[in-house]
Structures are given as C-alpha cells and as structure tokens.
Structure 1
Amino acid sequence: MPTDFPHFDALIIGAGMAGASLGAEIAADMAVLMIEQEDQPGYHATGRSVAFWSESYGGPLVRPLTQASLAALADPDPAFSEDSFLSPRGAVHIGNADDATLRDRMIAAFADNDLLVPMDRSALETRIPGLRPGWSTGVWEASTADIDVATLHAAYLRQFRQRGGTLWTDAALTSVERSSRGWTVLTAAGACTADILINAAGAWADPVARLCGVAPLGIQPLLRNVAQLRTDPAAPADLPLVLDLAEQFYFKPAGGGRIWLTPHDEHPALPCDAGPDDLAIATAIARFEQVVDWKVEAVERKWAGLRSFAPDRLPVYGFDRRTPGFFWFAGQGGFGIQTAPAAALLARARLTGAAPHAALSGIDLDRYDPARFG
C-alpha cells in the first residue's frame, strides 16, 4: 500500500444527508474521510428536498426507521442542537368518490394505531380553505411535521468535524483500486487509502459501485419537479401538507404565504444536475387549480431533484457480500431525510460491529441489507 497517501479507516463517498449523518455517527470510532464531488455538501437531493416527517411515507416497511428517527429529530441532544428540527404541520390525504378504495387501503396498512383518521367533505373544508367541489374523502395524519433540512444537515456536518472527521469538496472520484490491503482512491482533490469504502453517493450509487469494481444493485434515480407559487389568497401559515390519494400532486406552505407544489412525478433519469421541466410544472399547476379556487399569480422558483430507489423501493444498508470492504448506504428514495438518524445508527452498528442502538430495538435490520438482492 502506498505510504505517501493519507490513510483512513473509512471513506464516505457523498456528503449529502446520508453521508453527513453516517459520518457524524462513526467519526468518533474511526478515522473517516468524506468526499463530495461538488464544491458544497448537499448540492443535489438534500439541498432540493421538500422534506417532511410523515409516519406513513414510504409505507409500512420504511415506517420503523421513520419512527426510530423521531426522538432525534424532535428532541435532539442539546450537544447536537438546542432546537428541534421539526415543526408541526399535519397532513391531509385527499380524494374524490372514486378514491375510497385508496383511502381504505391506506388506513388498513397502518391499522395498528390511530395514525390515520378518515375525513369527510365537511372535515376537509375545515383544513383546506377554498376547496373545490368533488373532493369528498380524505385521511388526516396529525403527526406530520416539517423538517428543517438545512439546519439538520449542517448539524451533522458540524458534529462530523468536531469528532475528527475530514471533508474534501470538489473531490470527484477519478479511479479506485482494491487489493488485499484495502482501497487506493484518486479524486480531483487528492488521493488516499482506506480500509472501507462507504457508498453514500445518492443518484450516483450504481456508477460509483461500477467504478469500484462492484456489481450495481439497480438503484434508479427518479426525477421530481417542484415549483414555488405566489397565490391569491396567500397560503395560510397553518395549512397542512395536502397530498392526493392517487399520488398526482402534493403541496405545502413554504413561508411568506407561498406554496411548494409538485406533480408527484417520478421520471427515470441519469445521475445529473437535474433541471425542472416546464411541462411538468404546468401539469402540477393545472392539478393544483382543480383542488382549490386560489389564483396562481406567479411561479417564483422551479427546480428538480433526484430521488433514488432500489428495485424494491427499500433503502440498502450493509456490506456488499461479494466485495469485502465495500458498504452500501444508498437507495433512500424520498424518505432519506426523515429516516436519517435511524439509518445512521443502523449503519454504524453494521460497520463497527457494535450492538444496535436502543432506538433500533425491534427493527428487522436484515430487511435493508444488500444481501436480499442475491
């Protein structure tokens, strides 16, 4: 192994929410380098997220990670943050008469507690001012909350540095070689050696694996468009997150009376600096105008982000069974931010061999292991 390169116990590829949260968890136990191809961490999915904490989001198999993350987000250790990363919002999942089956299926999937409450037209009107005719059924999810993504990401990066972690930006991978002694990695910012490579590269997870000589898992980036709207009337500050039971849109207040709106699209894409699609934004606005009688006065901003899913739409956390020293931390889809605390704890246990944190008690950790793909 070359002696003129710095050596690390672990190298994390990607400094978005995934890499930052895991780095913060393991930096006290290991010498860790985190590399980011952009000039700032969180430029892609993390920086473009319309994030919220929703216990139903991602379905019943993601829910355990969401639940296990709640305490760390709502009431963090004061040494990590003096303030909560969550603020109350609530969510209304709405539908028309033809969506009753979707409503019932959703409620049945979470029937073990009172998470979801059926709503009739009268109840919908109390939550959504200006609701147009036709929206006659829905589900109320009171526990849904907004997440302060930027503050959470910054807190993880700060803790990573405080615990001795090293961050390189503008450090795109150029080559990776593996031997029985570990990994030799060349980046645009320099070279290093490491015992373990951690693939937290988001939309680039499969290309990174290929560069490392590891078989990809079929992690697919899916593009989602978002627009910020100015409306008349302005959006009430206490408006809940509004989602379509048929998954054709959702929107939420963005502060200052503005709305963040998406057509809930999922277009397969290559890893890239994603840009918005004008037709998708126009489609979203048309759907929004069918929900409420508000006038859209302006599209103030529009953007797109990539959400990456494994074939079964569950995250992938664990060592690759065919390539020693290669660890997957990818496929978090759209729920990577709300599950970040639990995911980082899970991966720390797998990386260090330590007993899983108490917050993970009762969770089938093997459900998220890459070995499930054979």
Structure 2
Amino acid sequence: MPQIFDVAVIGGGIAGASFAYRVAGQRSLILLERENQVGYHSTGRSAAEFSTQFQSPWVSTLAESSYNFLTNPPAGFTDIELLIPRGSLVIAQRERAHLIESAFSHILSTSPESYMLHPDDALAMVPFLKADYVEAAFYDPMNWDIEVDSLLQGYLRLARRAGAQVQLASPVTSIHREGGVYHLRTPAGEVLCRKVVNAAGAWADDFAALAGLDRLRIVPYRRTAITVDGPKGVDLSTLPAVNEVSEAFYFKPESGRIMVSPADATPSEACDAQPEELDIAYAAHFLSESTTLSINHIAHKWAGLRTFAPDKRQVVGFSTQDENFFWLAGQGGSGILTSPALSAWAAGLFLEGVPPDELCKAGLQPDVFSPARLSGVKA
C-alpha cells in the first residue's frame, strides 16, 4: 500500500522549505518542487537584503523577530554567517529632497542608530555618486546581505534530517480528495496526503484553482535587475547598498559587480520570468543618472516574480473552503528575510491552530494573515 503522508508541501522555495523545517518530525511530510532544483524562481532571484527599510509594519515585525534566528541559527543549520553587514545609504536628488526627513523619521523607529548625512559625506561613502545628484541623504547601519542559498539549504537539511522527503521535477498536474486523502498526480507518480500546504509562490492561485478552490487574487509582479562592472580602484565589498528615497531604484555590490534594479513591479502570469528590454534600460538609466559609472557592458540580467495579495499582506492559514488546505503564499519581496518568523507563525497555525504567542505579543494580530479576509475579494 502506498504511503499516505500527513502533509504535502507544494513548492520548494523559501516558504515551503522553512515550513518543512518547522513541521517535519512532528508530521510525516513530503515537499514537491516543480523544477529540477529548489529555489529556482523567486528565492533564487532575490535581492538578498535584510532590512526593515521601506517595509510594512507587519513585515518589520516579522523581520525583527527573525533576526535572532538568522544571526544564531540552530546547530547543524549552516557553517557560514547568514547575515553579512552591508549598511544602506538613502539618497535623494533636489526634486525629492523633501522626502528625506519623513523617511528618516520612519527609519529611526526600527533603526535608531541611523543618522543624517551631508551630501559630501554620502559621496565619500560611495565615491562614484554624482555630486550634482545627491541633495540629501541618510545612512542606516541595520542592513545586511543574506546568504540565501545557505538559508534555503539549511532549512531543507534539517527538514530531511527530521524525516521530510523532497521530490524534485514534480509539478502537480491534478488533485482530488477521496476518503479523506488527497491524490496528487505528478510526472513522478501519485502522492497521497491528508493535508496540503500551498507554498507555490507565483503559482499559488493556480494550484488552488486546480484543487477546486477560489483564487484569492494573489498576483505575481515582475522585478528586474542587472549587474555591471564597478569603477576601478574601488573596493566594492565595503560599500553600502544605495536606495533612492522614493524607491525608484536601488543598487548594491554583488559578486564583485554592481547590481541595480529599477524597482519595477509589473503584473505577470506565473512563469519563468525574463527581463524586458525597457526595464533593463531603466535600470541602466537610473545608474547613469545617479553615478559617474560608464555602462559599456551588462554582465548579467534577470527578472524574478514577487507575489502579493490585494492588500499586500501575506496569506497564511487554512482555507475557508477546505479545512485541510493550508495557504502559505503572497510573501511579496519579504519572504526570505521574514522566513524564520513567518514559518513559525505558519507552523503554529497548522499544528496547534494558533500562532506563536511571542509573535502576537510583538504586535501581530492572530488573524492578520488569514485567508478568510480575502473571501469575495475582486481584482
């Protein structure tokens, strides 16, 4: 008789992997990933930044609650540091200089060591910024690069150690429930389980529809990035990330080059996202406009999908239509930096029916991410 798992997790990105880490060992669990490798889509194309800048209140709370895990992960999780100090320089040109003060005041609530900078000091920090571009600036030291692959693999390593199975190249092509058991058809064969966790990222609504449930209007949005060579003689590893105050663009060191994104957010179908030429041009334009860099060659270009519910809050909890179907979706661009706390929230709801008390005490309402809030939502 084939094995019947307690739970099948759909999706091997950061959401599915972190959930598997929390639940494996307490339930028999299989993780089904549609691609030939985990983290292929959104997780593998993240800006890999840990920061509470420009975040919603609930994301800031989740990020702050994730910090201790990321700086002191469990034994056997990883052999390297997951957070690498980076710092963030927020800049504004003359037309937007008035926005700096309010942005700085907001940042102080979560990063009290931030401080205002004279434009000359900003140029000393990033010497290839244009002097006539930077009218106002501040610096936030509470910004880190995330070692994303090590984080993802750490979740999966401990999940497997606790008994989880991970099955690649296994998109679910059909699903039906019979006798209290889900039958999930994949190219690798049928998988049987009692509960399903929808951590399918950009495909979350599609998977729900495949299961006969209503879509929750969780929409993927494309974001583009390119890398270019930095200036000769500048140690890029010591530079901060640079964010334009109105979030028009950002750039940061990455693998010995400069990565820049136009911070685009274009609605997309669930797909293997590819960069559009216009967005590539915008990225190059913003970098040329704000720095003295000559962009003669684009070393690499890519796009990823960030999924959002209509109200931009994550979707975590059991479906109102099927008590055995659990949503873990709509993490937007914050899935990686919030994964320790959000996976603990999801596991609490899944296993005990209530989220962790410490996260509620941190200010999150028990129903803040409930799928019930999206019932009947129109596009």
What is the rounded CA distance, in whole Å, between the counterparts of 1:64 and 1:98 in structure 2? 32
For 1:366 and 1:118, the matched residues in 2 are separated by 38
Please state if 1:118 is matched with 2:113.
no
Q: Verify the 8 A CA contact 2:200 2:329 in the aligned structure 1.
A: yes
Map of 2:210 onto structure 1: 211
Q: Which amino acid aligns with 2:369?
A: Y
Deviations 1:71-90 (A, max 9, x none): 11112123322432000000
Task: Spell out, residue by residue over 1:292-316, the C-alpha distance to the aligned partner (whole angstroms, 9 max, x if none).
Answer: 1122242111111111111111111
Cα distance between partner residues in 2 of 1:226 and 1:44: 14
Partner of 1:264: 263
Aligned CA RMSD, in angstroms, stands at 1.8
For residue 278 of structure 1, what is the aligned residue in structure 2? 277
Q: Residue 348 of structure 2: SS of its match in structure 1? A: helix
Deviation per residue, 1:203-224 (Å, 9 max, x gap): 0010001001111111110011
Which position in structure 2 is the counterpart of 1:21? 18
1:162 aligns with 2:161: yes
Aligned to 1:193: 192
Report Cα offsets for 1:207-243 as digits up to 9, x if no partner.
0010011111111100111111113335622111111
Distance 1:298 1:206, change over 3 A: same
Q: Report how far residue 317 of structure 1 moved.
A: 1.0
Q: C-alpha displacement at 1:355, in angstroms? A: 6.5
> Structure 1's 172 and 20: CA in aligned 2 closer, same or farther, altered over 3 A?
same
Q: Is the 8 A contact 2:35 2:168 kept in 1?
A: yes
Query: What are the equivalent positions in structure 2 for 1:309-324 lying under 5 Å apart?
Result: 309-324=308-323
| Segment drifting more, 240-249 vs 74-83 | 74-83
Unaligned runs of 5+ in 2: none
What is the TM-score with the length of structure 2 in the denominator? 0.93
CA distance in 2, matches of 1:194, 1:57: 40
CA distance in 1, matches of 2:165, 2:306: 26
Summarize the alignment of residues 1-374 of structure 1 with structure 2, pairs less than 5 Å apart.
Answer: 4-113=1-110, 114=112, 116-132=114-130, 133-179=132-178, 181-233=180-232, 236-256=236-256, 258-353=257-352, 356-357=355-356, 360=359, 361-364=361-364, 365-374=366-375
Percent of residue pairs identical = 34
- Structure 2 Cα separation of the partners of residues 58 and 42 of structure 1: 23
Amino acid at match of 1:242: V
Aligned counterparts of 2:363 and 2:316: Cα–Cα separation in 1: 13
CA distance in 2, matches of 1:287, 1:34: 40
Q: How far apart in 2 are the matches of 1:295 and 1:240?
A: 20
Change (3 A) 1:306 1:235: farther
Q: Distance in 2 between matches of 1:108 and 1:369?
A: 31
Give the Cα separation in 2 of the matches to 1:227 and 1:267: 16
How big is each residue's C-alpha offset from its partner over 1:283-336, in whole Å with a ceiling of 9 and x where there is no partner?
211110111112224211111111111111111111112221111101111110
What amino acid is the match of 1:339?
T
Distance across 1 between alignment mates of 2:113 and 2:276? 35
Code of the residue aligned with 2:118 in structure 1: it is D
User: Whole-Å Cα distance in 2 between the matches of residues 123 and 92 of structure 1?
Assistant: 11
Q: CA deviation at 1:183?
A: 1.5
Structure 1 residue 247 displacement after superposition? 1.7
Equivalent residues, number: 370
Q: Call closer, same or farther: CA 1:288–1:42 in 2, change over 3 Å.
A: same
**1:117 shift after superposition:** 3.0
Structure 1 contact 60–109 (Cα < 8 Å) conserved: no
Contact 2:230 2:236 in 1 (8 A): no
Amino acid at match of 2:140: E
Q: Are the counterparts in 2 of residues 8 and 193 from structure 1 also a CA contact under 8 Å?
A: yes
Q: Contact 1:232–1:296 (CA<8 Å) still a contact in 2?
A: no
CA contact (8 A) 1:76 1:82 kept: no
Q: Report the Cα offset of residue 167 of structure 1.
A: 1.0
Contact 1:91 1:142 in 2 (8 A): yes
CA contact (8 A) 1:203 1:306 kept: yes
1:94–1:242 contact (8 Å) kept in structure 2: yes
Question: 1:89-121: per-residue Cα shift (whole Å, max 9, x none)?
Answer: 001121123324432332343453516433331
Out of 227-236 and 91-100, give the one that drifted further: 227-236
CA distance in 2, matches of 1:368, 1:115: 31
Deviation at residue 150 of structure 1 after TM alignment: 0.9
CA distance in 2, matches of 1:367, 1:149: 26
Query: For residues 15 and 158 of structure 1, what CA distance do their matches in structure 2 show?
Result: 13
**Amino acid in structure 1 at the alignment position of 2:236:** P
Aligned-residue offset at 1:58: 2.5
1:209, 1:216 within 8 Å by CA — same for their partners in 2? yes
